[in-house]
Structure 1
Amino acid sequence: MSSNHGMRRRTALSLMGTAAIGATLAACSGDGDGGGSGNSMMVVYTGQAGDYQVNFNPFSPSRIGGLGTIYETLFFHNKAQVADPVPLLGTEFAWNEDGTELTVTLREGVKWSDGEAFTAEDVAFTFEMLQANPSINGSGWEGTVAATDDTHVVFTFTAPAFVKGPDLMNTAIVPQHIWKDLNPVEDVIENPIGTGAFTLKEFKPQAYMLEANPDYWGGEPKLKQVRWDALGGNQSAADGVAAGTIDWITSPIPDIQNTNENFPSYEAFTQWQNQMVLATSSNPELGSTGPQTDPAVRHALYYAINREQLNSLAFMETASEISPAFTLTPSQDQYLTPAVDELSAPMGAQPDTAAQILEAAGWVLGEDGIYAKDGERLSLTVEVVTGWTDYITAIDVMISQAKEAGIELVAAQSSWNEWTEKKVSGNFQLAIDSLWQGPAPDPYYLYSYFFDSASGAPVGESAGNNYSRYASPEVDEALDALTNLPLDDVAARLPHFEAIQEAIIRDMPYVPILTGGTTSVWNTAKFSGWPSEDDLYAFPANWSALDAAEILKRIEPQG
């Protein structure tokens, strides 16, 4: 894992000979359609290395599957683009005027996969259970919930909670008649009962199989079976594509731009969400030390990076441009304000601009080609996890780029645990990482995660997501105001986004690099209905459970 938010890191892969491929995949996967008729079964690999341990508890950190496919949520939020929530178990929702009460209308006629009726009591039970067990209350739900009849549930809050809505909508709903007798924290679920489009057919440590639910409220899926394989790692996944025995992986393969030429049954599709940064320990008032505490240094780094070269050499051309305001471009461009002069970071290096910024701030170019100020050379250490080959390559490239702008970068590799401890405690200068999106395609969540001073801490103490220790009264005030406004009232929200964007571009505690691409390689000869640029109805990653569930419902076997 790349960081505490659980995004997967991937390395470049090489292909084995076809004879070795056949021997490897025959042992763990079988043929591509599982011996069924036509292409009724899809084989998926999410990155599981080693055997599965059975656990279909949707609230467990060690769950292996079922979220979205078996256990549904009230609505689906498409993180790939700004769009209205898609009704699932819920059909409508409405807030009261001050954002303290949320009423959800539920779908009628839904059955649990054991035949029992789904009602509002199941929804109320689920949220009461989560609030009673903080360790699995991942959304931080806090309030009261009541089923007013079989098809309506009301959530009540003590303060405006408009921004909490997507978290509630994205929570898995479980059946009261089964879960009332379970320990939701400790119990593993071997025979999951849900309302989803799929049910569990069988589990084995090497693979588990889901099958279409014939009684699904939305109609039985055309894809009849899905097998989730456990393999030896990404090497086996690439081999599976070459052999035609795996239908969907979410990781790059060699020469990915020519996937269809190399493997005519497959296409590669990349979508961009995770915004790569050089994070800084930025706040001297909280104990941060080093040249990176000077905003001029951070801005000089921003202009020293040749992003086009970086994308080519480190990221196999799978990354894309990044906004200095950290709105996803172009999908969140509606949230950009006049505070943003550069809609995206320059793709080419601008060492002259970097030099002007540094010299205006009192830095003087030394005889060794590196700037210095008050006897301190502009030398910065970049923390990276051992084994993150794309990030390590990126740092190597940025070292030479920064040197041309008079900045010395030094790479420091460490274990994931040590890297995380340095970030959380603030004992670092720079760390390469990525900022992630929230439960809905809205920049509020990223701003609240990474720029809210309440999530910072003095150096030496554990910080939350705001490990840069950034603090801005303007940003805090704007975030507070946004919690009182409905997510769909863009006009009222824009002035507060403008205040945030003006501050974070001015201060730049996270230096934007590029937006990292998530690439899926999928079998288009056997299956149609995949997301595309023209119909990006879900984020195209098989490890993004709620998105994957929507994709599997859309898939149609071919032939």
Structure 2
Amino acid sequence: MAAIALLATACSQSSGSGGGKNDTLVVFTGQAGDYQANFNPFSPTMVEGPGTIFESLFYFNQVRDEPAKPLLGTEYSWNEDGTELSITLREGVTWSDGEEFTADDVVFTLDMISRHKEMNGTGYKGEAEAVDDTHVKITFDEPSYMDGPQILGKIYIVPEHIWKDVEQPSKDTVRKPVGTGPYTLGDFKGQAFTLKANPDYWDGEPAVKQVRYVALSGNQAGADALAAGKIDWQTGPVPDIRNVEKNYPGYKAVTVPINQTALMTCANPELGCKGPQTDPAVRKAIYYAMDRTQLNSLAFQNTSSQISPGFALVESNKELVSAKLEESLAPMRADAARAERILKDAGYTKGPDGVYAKGGRKLSLTVRVVSGWTDYITAVDTLAEQLKKVGIKITPQQSSWNEWSEARGQGNYQLLIDSLYPGPSPDPFYTYSYFFGTETTAEVGEAANPNFSRYSNPKVDKALQELKKLAPEATAQRRKQYDVIQTEIERDMPYIPVLTGGTTSEYHASKFEGWPTEYNLYAVPAVWSRPDQAQIYKALKPAG
């Protein structure tokens, strides 16, 4: 209740000036502990900004196969061999400080991330040129069709007139962000911060005048605040999640299977990873020791579904799950005998305490989890009991989101529970290039973004390069490369598949209208999914 009381001030400010209408949206992202101001859209520890403050050129819907939505860009096209991407920019756009947006800002942004590898989360390798104020041409050394949606939809354009003077752009926390987006930064405190509607936004000032982000103590505090009507949107578990409308009058819920829950491992000793998890046999034993049916029931209220060890989404990419995999789907029940056989074959012997060891070192691991994330906490606690049965000891290690995120980015962990997310379109290429490509990782102690496992495999890298050259319609050729990637990552398993997460959001339908539903998924309905959240903020209006 103390946590809910913290929201009183925010909610008392919710009435807009127009006839008392409520135009402040209060959201909870799952932030446990105070926010740390970081609005750098290229930082892995950023708290907000992509889509809301900083915009991409287009918006690509990850959950629907539909044309890209124009934002700062209005048109784009490829040349015949996929080596040149031409973009037309929107005219009349200004930065929130009043300066004019031009093609120079786009070129500057692309050049900047090219120079700073840790900012280049999409692996961009083009060369950009401003043809004039409203046209940009990007050239590539080889066909790069798959780079299109990433460049157009996942790179957030920043103002050259400000960022050219930033000495270390990858580390700057951008406490006073200037963008072209529908919102600007209002007040900021550790327990809450506010985004304010941009009155000069090129697409018109949003009807939701303020978005208030609040930090609570975890999922239970979020559920309590929801029950008290103190927050309007959260993405995460609540008790009895299938009966939200009954238990939380005025609210509704939507669930979308899009992110793939996994045990991340710092897997690569050549890049500085240390611990038993660097042994593929240990990772494979953990994979078979999981009882995923029990995990789904106890931790996720049966909202999750099966996952493929090749990490092609089972529901939306079923036809791309490789037939060359040992198993197309991860087993839902534990195979303890197989798990122990894998360990024994790799030279591990079980000690008198029931824990396997090798070379005098026990098979004992820590797994990082964010304090207050009750579903993940239950999952790792359950996993600890499951793995104990096969002689593997794991110790859950709770910390604030800030500490957890820092450890994930720097590689200072052994195991960590999180999700692998898709790219700007449903094609699994993007998940592979983000999380399994050498281009997006770094040595332990340096920021990886987002190949947090430090995985590096020449066969996977080569397949990713081949996929970039292929047009999306070259289905048969693309499948051959997916076969290579999926069989390699099934064997190496740097991310141990758990389940395909059922991402559930609870939203205040009686207060705001225009929410995405299972029948109208115009954006991913998750408050922490960027830039989808911005599309939703722009679509919402006070009910009535």
Partner Cα distance (1:528, 1:473) in 2: 49
Root mean square deviation of aligned Cα: 4.5
Which one of 211, 226, 235 corresponds to residue 197 of structure 2? 211
Partner Cα distance (1:87, 1:279) in 2: 35
Kindly provide the CA deviation profile for residues 385-420 of structure 1, in whole angstroms up to 9, marking residues without a partner as x: 47365444323322333455x433332637686997
Deviation at 1:292, TM superposition (A): 6.0
Uncovered stretches (5+) of structure 1, i.e. residues with no partner: 1-15
Q: In the alignment, is residue 167 of structure 1 matched against residue 153 of structure 2? A: no
Which one of 249, 255, 274 corresponds to residue 270 of structure 1? 255
Q: Which residue of 2 aligns with 1:448?
A: 433
TM-score normalized by the length of structure 2: 0.78
Inter-CA distance 161–28: structure 2 relative to 1 (3 Å threshold): same
Q: Which residue of 2 aligns with 1:325?
A: 310
Partner Cα distance (1:224, 1:285) in 2: 49
Q: Which residue of 1 aligns with 2:290?
A: 305
Q: In the alignment, is residue 76 of structure 1 matched against residue 59 of structure 2? A: yes
**8 A contact 1:54–1:203 mirrored in 2:** no
Which one of 85, 88, 97 corresponds to residue 105 of structure 1? 88
TM-score normalized by the length of structure 1: 0.77
Q: In the alignment, is residue 226 of structure 1 matched against residue 191 of structure 2? A: no
1:527 maps to amino acid: F
**8 A contact 1:100–1:157 mirrored in 2:** yes
Q: Which residue of 1 aligns with 2:333?
A: 348
Deviation at 1:327, TM superposition (A): 1.5
Uncovered stretches (5+) of structure 2, i.e. residues with no partner: none
**8 A contact 1:58–1:65 mirrored in 2:** yes
User: Counterparts in 2 of 1:392-541, with a 5 A limit?
Assistant: 392-404=377-389, 406-411=390-395, 413=397, 428=414, 431-452=416-437, 464=448, 472-487=457-472, 489-541=474-526
Q: Secondary structure at the match of 2:293?
A: helix
Q: Which residue of 2 aligns with 1:37?
A: 19
Deviation at 1:171, TM superposition (A): 2.6
Inter-CA distance 71–395: structure 2 relative to 1 (3 Å threshold): closer
Q: In the alignment, is residue 555 of structure 1 matched against residue 540 of structure 2? A: yes
Q: Secondary structure at the match of 1:29?
A: helix
**8 A contact 2:59–2:71 mirrored in 1:** yes
Deviation at 1:496, TM superposition (A): 0.4
Inter-CA distance 154–204: structure 2 relative to 1 (3 Å threshold): same
Partner Cα distance (1:269, 1:74) in 2: 28
Inter-CA distance 436–285: structure 2 relative to 1 (3 Å threshold): same
Deviation at 1:343, TM superposition (A): 3.7
2:129 maps to amino acid: A
Partner Cα distance (2:47, 2:369) in 1: 25
Deviation at 1:284, TM superposition (A): 8.1
Q: Secondary structure at the match of 1:310?
A: helix
Which one of 86, 91, 103 corresponds to residue 74 of structure 2? 91
Inter-CA distance 122–267: structure 2 relative to 1 (3 Å threshold): same
**8 A contact 2:441–2:451 mirrored in 1:** yes
Partner Cα distance (1:425, 1:61) in 2: 12
Q: Secondary structure at the match of 2:531?
A: helix
Partner Cα distance (1:226, 1:378) in 2: 53
Deviation at 1:134, TM superposition (A): 7.0
Inter-CA distance 38–343: structure 2 relative to 1 (3 Å threshold): farther
Inter-CA distance 514–193: structure 2 relative to 1 (3 Å threshold): closer
**8 A contact 1:45–1:228 mirrored in 2:** yes
Q: Which residue of 2 aligns with 1:147?
A: 130
Deviation at 1:555, TM superposition (A): 2.0
Q: In the alignment, is residue 244 of structure 1 matched against residue 229 of structure 2? A: yes
Q: In the alignment, is residue 25 of structure 1 matched against residue 11 of structure 2? A: no
Percent identity of the aligned residues? 44
Partner Cα distance (1:457, 1:132) in 2: 15
Kindly provide the CA deviation profile for residues 297-347 of structure 1, in whole angstroms up to 9, marking residues without a partner as x: 544432332112112223344433221111123123343232246443232
Which structure would you say has the larger Rg?
A: 1
Deviation at 1:368, TM superposition (A): 6.8
1:166 maps to amino acid: P
1:504 maps to amino acid: I
Q: Which residue of 1 aligns with 2:239?
A: 254
Partner Cα distance (2:60, 2:213) in 1: 27
Deviation at 1:369, TM superposition (A): 10
